[in-house]
Amino acid sequence: MEAETAKVPSPRTFRSPKRILARFFRKSRDRWKEKYQTLQKEAKRLTNQAADARRSRERWREKAEAAEAAAKQLEAALAAETTARAEAEKKGAH
C-alpha cells in the first residue's frame, strides 16, 4: 500500500513590500474590529430596549389589574348599597 503524502500548501508569496502589506492588514483588522464593536453596541441597545419594553408592559399590566380589582370592589359595594336601599324602601313602604 502506498503511503500518501500530505500536500503541504506552499506559503503565499506577496510581491508588495511588507510595510504596505502590514498597513493593509492593520487597516483591515481595524475595520473588522470597528464593525464588530458597532454590532455589539447595537445588540446591547436592542437587548436593553426589549427589557425596558417588557418591564413597562408588566407595570402597565399590574396597574390595569389593580384598577380592575378596584372597579370590581366598587361595583360590589354599589350593588350591595343598592340592594340595601331597595330593601329599606320595601320595609318603609309597608
Q: How far apart are CA 71 and CA 67, in angstroms?
A: 6
Answer yes or no: are the C-beta atoms of 58 and 66 closer than 8 Å.
no
Answer yes or no: are the C-beta atoms of 14 and 21 closer than 8 Å.
yes
pLDDT (0 to 100) of residue 6: 63
pLDDT (0 to 100) of residue 1: 47
Could you report the per-residue pLDDT of 24-78, keeping only the tens digit for each?
Answer: 999 999 999 999 999 999 999 999 999 999 999 999 999 999 999 999 999 999 9
Whether this model's pTM surpasses 0.85: no
pLDDT at 10 over 90: no
pLDDT (0 to 100) of residue 3: 55
Q: How far apart are CA 32 and CA 91, in angstroms?
A: 88
**Of all residues in the chain, what percent carry a pLDDT higher than 70?**
88
Could you report the per-residue pLDDT of 40-54, keeping only the tens digit for each?
Answer: 999 999 999 999 999
Q: Which three cell numbers stand for residue 15?
A: 510581491
Helical H segments across the chain, by residue range: 18-93
